[in-house]
Amino acid sequence: MKRFIARRLMQGVVLLCMVATIVFFLGRLTGNPVDLMLPEDATPEDRTALIQTLGLDGPILDQFAIFVGNAVHGDLGTSIRMRQPAAEAFFDRLPNTLMLIPWALLLGMMLGIPLGVVAALHRGGWLDRAAGTVAVLGVAMPSFWLGILLIFVFSVELGWLPSSRMGGPDHYVLPVITLGTFLVAGFMRITRSAMLEVMESEFVKLARIKGLSETTVIWKHCLRNALIPVLTLWGVFVGNLITGAIVTETVFAWPGIGRLTYEAVIYRDFPLLQAVIILESILILAINLGVDILYAYVDPRIRLA
Amino acid sequence: MSDTVLEVRDLHTHFFLRRGVVKAVDGVSFSLRRGEVLGLVGESGCGKSLTALSLMRLLPKGGARTIKGEVLLGGENILERTPAEMREIRGRRISMVLQDPQTSLNPVFSVGDQLREAIERRRKGASLSEIMKEAVAALRRVEIAAPEQRIGQYPHQMSGGMKQRVVGAIAISGEPEVLIADEPTTALDVTIQLQYLKLLKRLQAENGMAILFITHDFGVVGRMCDRVAVMYAGRIVECGPVKQIFEAPSHPYTRALIASVPKMTGSAGRLTTIEGQPPSLMDLPAGCRFASRCAHVEQHCLDAYPGTVRVGDEHTADCWKVSAS
């Protein structure tokens, strides 16, 4: 297990280097942030001066070398727009996103897993088809559209729920639904196919031979086995949630890292963008490692191997 | 005949598929007495396993249905029981050991957990420590060494032979009257096979259950069974005491089967085989099902199915030739 974790950490470092390189050069392809920052009547001298202050004047490879050098020492730069260390800005906003993600994950599982089980039990029947329709809808509806639709219905027309910003529990409802819907579909589909496979196995037959009730056979013996592939998806889904948060938080004016990412892109705030992407990557890598360790607890074959 | 625990009468289990009806079990009748081992022998696909699953009422998904017949367990027809009543019967009165120990145990629960579930049904209201004590005793009964340590282990930590013992312990933990063993040794090493058979014999002697032993191996039949039923294309074609079947098989199929068992004595020659293929279960002939492969076939064999003929004491066969003589 220790060797496994060490190997995964090494892979993570390699991956991070690649992410940092890509985000550095890709960001600079979008243009120069100076154009967005200066007033329209600024002189070319003002422009050159600002470029120099921001350190954007040297050859791009030199800039990259400076960025890497600082990053290795833990300095991810200062946000151009917010005049605050980029990492600090990220960690200021992170808790707001982390308050959203678990609920979306929970919503996805609470609806998706039982739906998947029910669909598998009624394979080919109308319940299966109904669940399949939910899955297709969940995947097909883009979250910016779903978010706006929800705001229109529940905030504008019905006036039941607030449409934006953080606040009490009612502020969470719409963003969580927007963020969690595609997960319902994902969890449903993977649970369904895993259940169908498990239900055919011999140990399920033996459980029935023992005279166990169908409830125990399905929800204990089958589901526990079917959850193994479901858990694999966790890592992927958390990654999706963080990227999904970019859209959802923008729609709902939610001050989390998703919206921070969006702002960094829009304002060409290169240091912030680099910091946000790198830190988000670390977050996703850490969660994936956590999932792999969690795996061992569900599947004794891994734990004791 | 009051010691008959299980009687199967004219059992028909068919697969209803889009392309036709597969008559996998098509008129099977036999009876099982207390403390007896009845072998059910036949080649792959003759309906042995489906017969067993019909008795458990655990038919595979995909169109299998028992459409006719009676399964009398202690005199009552369990085919008429509700699913809930059937669950009470399973494990407690009729139980089963499956073929492949590698897949019969749930990989994510410990052996003790899986045994506990079975014991709990019999000992409702007992404390967990009592039940676990009983689970350890159950493992000891199937000759698993150091059962106190084994009880917390998971299936993947055990060998195939050991897993099959655990499956056995689970199957008999409800003290059933009838145990169906569906090729329980086929997936085991030859050396382990013999141990397992001895174990089954011993357990049977201890609690007097009746065993329906499904196999395709005549050697195992000779070692295990009191009586044997030979199945061919969905029907039992011959049934009788093992000694009689071995020494004087009546049905040509039984004779061919016994002749095809390789012998360790005499000169090494070519292995005897049965020419041809069994008939398609979707399109069964009107006459004797073995007719197309039988060396003694005559016209009336093709025209009508022979009735069951009494050959000797408790020995019957479905063959025109036998009824003629």
Of the candidates B98, B105, B154, the beta carbon closest to that of A304 is on B154
Contacts of A201 in chain B (CB under 8 A): 103
Which pLDDT band holds residue A205 (cuts at 50, 70, 90)? very high
Residue of A nearest to B119 (CA): A210
pLDDT digits (tens, 9 = 90+) for B271-310: 778 878 888 888 888 889 898 888 888 888 888 888 888 8
Q: Could B121 and A300 be called an inter-chain contact, meaning their C-beta atoms sit closer than 8 Å? A: no
**Tokens encoding A25:** 């050069």
Q: Whole-angstrom Cα distance, residue B83 to residue B95?
A: 16
Q: Which residue has the tokens 């009165």?
A: B93
Contacts of A212 in chain B (CB under 8 A): 87, 117, 121
Please give the pLDDT value at position B57: 93
Q: Whole-angstrom Cα distance, residue A47 to residue A45?
A: 5
Q: Could B104 and A203 be called an inter-chain contact, meaning their C-beta atoms sit closer than 8 Å? A: yes
pLDDT digits (tens, 9 = 90+) for A75-88: 888 887 888 888 88
Q: Which residues pair with B308 in a beta bridge?
A: B318
Q: Could A205 and B95 be called an inter-chain contact, meaning their C-beta atoms sit closer than 8 Å? A: no
What distance separates the 2 farthest-apart alpha carbons in chain B? Answer: 68
Q: How many angstroms separate the CA of residue A241 from the nearest CA in chain B? A: 29
Element containing residue B15 per DSSP (H, E)? strand B4-17
* pLDDT > 90 fraction of chain B, expressed in percent and rounded: 51
Q: Could B117 and A205 be called an inter-chain contact, meaning their C-beta atoms sit closer than 8 Å? A: no
pLDDT digits (tens, 9 = 90+) for A266-276: 888 888 888 89
Contacts of B110 in chain A (CB under 8 A): 300
Top-confidence residue, A120 or A8: A120
Q: Could B170 and A210 be called an inter-chain contact, meaning their C-beta atoms sit closer than 8 Å? A: yes
pLDDT digits (tens, 9 = 90+) for A127-141: 999 988 888 888 888
Contacts of B149 in chain A (CB under 8 A): none
Q: Could A209 and B121 be called an inter-chain contact, meaning their C-beta atoms sit closer than 8 Å? A: no
Q: Check whether A16 has a pLDDT greater than 60.
A: yes
Question: Taking a C-beta distance cutoff of 8 angstroms, is the pair B95, A212 a contact?
Answer: no
Top-confidence residue, B197 or B261: B197
Cα B69-B2-B68 angle, rounded to 5 deg: 0
Give the residue extent of every domain in chain A: 2-88, 101-255
Contacts of B119 in chain A (CB under 8 A): none
**Tokens encoding A146:** 């779903």
Residue of A nearest to B170 (CA): A210
pLDDT digits (tens, 9 = 90+) for B64-104: 999 999 999 988 999 999 999 999 999 999 999 998 888 99
**Cα dihedral A120, A121, A122, A127 sign:** negative
Please give the pLDDT value at position B228: 95
Element containing residue B178 per DSSP (H, E)? strand B178-182
Q: Could A209 and B105 be called an inter-chain contact, meaning their C-beta atoms sit closer than 8 Å? A: no
Q: Could A211 and B110 be called an inter-chain contact, meaning their C-beta atoms sit closer than 8 Å? A: no
Q: Could A213 and B56 be called an inter-chain contact, meaning their C-beta atoms sit closer than 8 Å? A: no
Provide the pairing of β-strand B37-41 with B178-182: unpaired
pLDDT digits (tens, 9 = 90+) for A285-300: 888 888 888 877 777 7
Of the candidates A211, A224, A228, the beta carbon closest to that of B88 is on A211
Q: Check whether B25 has a pLDDT greater than 90.
A: yes
Please give the pLDDT value at position B267: 65
Show which residues on chain A lie within 8 Å of chain B, measured between beta carbons: 200-213, 216, 221, 224-225, 228, 298-301, 304
Domains and CATH numbers, chain B: 4-93+179-263+271-278 (3.40.50.300), 102-175 (no CATH)
Q: Whole-angstrom Cα distance, residue B133 to residue A88?
A: 58
Which pLDDT band holds residue B33 (cuts at 50, 70, 90)? very high
Alpha helices in chain B (DSSP H): 48-56, 83-89, 101-104, 111-122, 128-141, 147-150, 160-172, 190-207, 218-224, 242-247, 252-259, 299-303, 320-324
- Summary mean pLDDT of chain B: 89
Rg, chain B, Cα only: 21
Of the candidates B91, B103, B108, the beta carbon closest to that of A210 is on B91
Residue of B nearest to A201 (CA): B103
Q: How many angstroms separate the CA of residue B304 from the nearest CA in chain A? A: 38
| Topology classification of domain A101-255 | MetI-like fold (1.10.3720)
Which pLDDT band holds residue B106 (cuts at 50, 70, 90)? very high
Please give the pLDDT value at position B1: 45
Interface test mutation site (partner B, options A210, A225, A231, A302, max chain B beta carbons within 10 A): A210
Of the candidates A205, A225, A299, the beta carbon closest to that of B58 is on A205
Q: Whole-angstrom Cα distance, residue B172 to residue B29?
A: 25
Q: How many angstroms separate the CA of residue B116 from the nearest CA in chain A? A: 11
Q: Which residues pair with B7 in a beta bridge?
A: B31, B72
Q: Check whether A21 has a pLDDT greater than 60.
A: yes
Rg, chain A, Cα only: 24
Residue of A nearest to B95 (CA): A209
Question: Taking a C-beta distance cutoff of 8 angstroms, is the pair A93, A85 a contact?
Answer: no
**Tokens encoding A33:** 């942030």
Q: How many angstroms separate the CA of residue A210 from the nearest CA in chain B? A: 4
Please give the pLDDT value at position B147: 92
Q: Check whether A244 has a pLDDT greater than 90.
A: no
Residue of A nearest to B55 (CA): A209
pLDDT digits (tens, 9 = 90+) for B137-183: 999 989 898 999 999 999 999 998 899 999 999 999 988 999 999 99
